[in-house]
Amino acid sequence: MTKLKLFVALVLTALMIIIIVQNTEPVDTDILFLTITMPRAALLAFAGFLGFGLGILTSFFLSGKIIKKS
């Protein structure tokens, strides 16, 4: 089971890298009152890392590994 998880993680990482490398044209992103122009690859990488981080935090909270101080 551990090898399967590692294989799936590697395949998803490879797919993410391929998608990021193929999307290099600039894109306008509106965040509230700001308009930011950046390469689409940077936006995809940011969204991927943000999703990965939120997934890790969610798994920690759901598994109970983070101990709350009272």
Residues 33-63 pLDDT 10s: 999 999 988 888 888 889 989 988 888 888 7
Per-residue model confidence as pLDDT tens digits over 6-39: 898 899 889 988 988 888 899 998 889 999 999 9
What pLDDT shows up at residue 11?
Answer: 92
Which distant-in-sequence residues (6+ apart) come within 8 Å of 69 by Cβ?
A: none
**Residue 46 near residue 31, CB atoms below 8 Å:** no
What pLDDT shows up at residue 50?
Answer: 92
What pLDDT shows up at residue 54?
Answer: 92
- Sign (positive or negative) of CA dihedral 67, 48, 17, 37: negative
- The predicted model scores a pTM of 0.65
